[in-house]
Amino acid sequence: MRTKRAKSEKRLKPGRIHAVLTTLGREIAQETIPAGAVLPSEHDLEIRFGVGRGVVREAIKTLSGKGLVSVRPRHGTKVLPRRDWSLLDRDVLNWLVGPDKPDRELLLAVQEVRLIIEPAAAALAATRATKQDRQRINAALEAMQAADNQDTRTAADKAFHLAILDATHNPVLQGFRSAIDTILSTVFVVAVDSVDGWFEENLPNHAATARAIEEGDAQKARRAMEQVLGYTQTKLSRRKVGANHRDRRPSRPRNARQAQ
């Protein structure tokens, strides 16, 4: 009986660790537990989540590895300021951005980083892409052009940008894959709730990028990717201003077109 119970607990442990990790991560990211605060003791966390000490310790260890907390004997587990966090970590980005109320300031900050990295990546891809790389990029573009709903558009757009990163054959640049994957999902959440035609209007810029890479023209690829990201940056900025303005006005019917 004891052996069977132990095996059952072992199977449940990863799920329990994830549950504790996700809850604490979100609370820290959303400042429910602010920087400088000390987390409850292990015993209190065990009681709160109904888990064993091993689960709590694994969750805290992971939070520490992502830079959200520091663990010091006799000083407890302290929440670190955002500047210490691994902001390109997939989990951290998800906790920060959130599915319901995206943090547009963070989105704009990530877009600025993308404007630095991805045009250079497109230029490198133009000079380094293999035949297979170019096929992946063009296939993703075709999927974008054929997409007819949010899920297929998001998947195709991700595939396009990630294929270009892969085509650089630079392992450091490829390290940004998970961050771009996560941020594109959130950008689409904002896009769908904002301006009609956002996706379609940016397709020619994506096509120009793919064409420049196909031609091996690094400068043209760089400029085309700058157009892709600059368009999104502008829309996110306008959406932020528009959202703040609309918050001060009476609500309108859901089917009413939003001002651009």
Residue 44 has what pLDDT? 97
In-domain check, residue 210: yes
For residue 202, give the CATH number of its domain: 1.20.120.530
pLDDT band, residue 56 (cuts 50/70/90): very high
pLDDT band, residue 242 (cuts 50/70/90): very low
pTM exceeds 0.85: no
Residue 190 has pLDDT above 70, yes or no: no
pLDDT band, residue 199 (cuts 50/70/90): confident
Instruction: Please give the helix or strand (H or E) that residue 196 lies within, else none.
Output: none
In-domain check, residue 7: yes
Residue whose entry in the numeric block shows the structure tokens 């990546």 = 121
**Alpha helix stretches (DSSP H) within the chain:** 2-29, 42-49, 53-65, 90-97, 104-128, 131-146, 150-167, 171-174, 177-192, 198-215, 218-246
In contact, 63 and 22? CB cutoff 8 Å:
no
pLDDT band, residue 104 (cuts 50/70/90): confident
What domain range includes position 121? 90-246
Residue 192 has pLDDT above 70, yes or no: no
In-domain check, residue 252: no
Least confident of 90-94, 159-163, 203-207, 233-237: 233-237
Last residue in a domain, options 23, 58, 84 = 84
For residue 32, give the CATH number of its domain: 1.10.10.10
Nearest CA to 214 among 117, 146, 120, 127? 127
Close Cβ partners of 218 (under 8 Å, ≥ 6 residues apart): 123, 124, 126, 127, 212
Choice between 132 and 174, residue whose per-residue pLDDT is larger: 132
Q: Collapsing DSSP states into helix, strand and coil, what is residue 76?
A: strand
Residue 191 has what pLDDT? 60
| 97 and 44 within one domain | no
| 71 and 29 within one domain | yes
Residue 177 has what pLDDT? 85
| 242 and 118 within one domain | yes
Mean pLDDT of all residues in the chain? 84
| 113 and 42 within one domain | no
In-domain check, residue 101: yes
In contact, 155 and 142? CB cutoff 8 Å:
no
In this prediction, residues 189-199 reach a mean pLDDT of 64
| 173 and 52 within one domain | no
Choice between 11 and 215, residue whose per-residue pLDDT is larger: 215
Taking the C-alpha atoms of residue 108 and residue 1, their distance in angstroms, rounded to an integer, is 55
Report DSSP state, residue 161: H
In this prediction, residues 166-191 reach a mean pLDDT of 82
Per-residue burial over 130-151, b if 16 or more Cβ lie within 10 Å, else e, is eeebbebbbebbebbeebeeee
In-domain check, residue 215: yes
Residue 222 has pLDDT above 50, yes or no: yes
Last residue in a domain, options 37, 58, 84 = 84
The residues pairing with 76 across neighbouring beta strands, listed in sequence order, are 72
| 207 and 130 within one domain | yes
Residue 245 has what pLDDT? 38
Residue 42 has pLDDT above 60, yes or no: yes
| 102 and 78 within one domain | no
In-domain check, residue 221: yes
Residue 251 has what pLDDT? 37
Q: What is the CA radius of gyration of the chain?
A: 22
Least confident of 135-139, 150-154, 226-230: 150-154
Total domains in the chain come to 2
Residue 236 has what pLDDT? 77
Residue 168 has pLDDT above 70, yes or no: yes
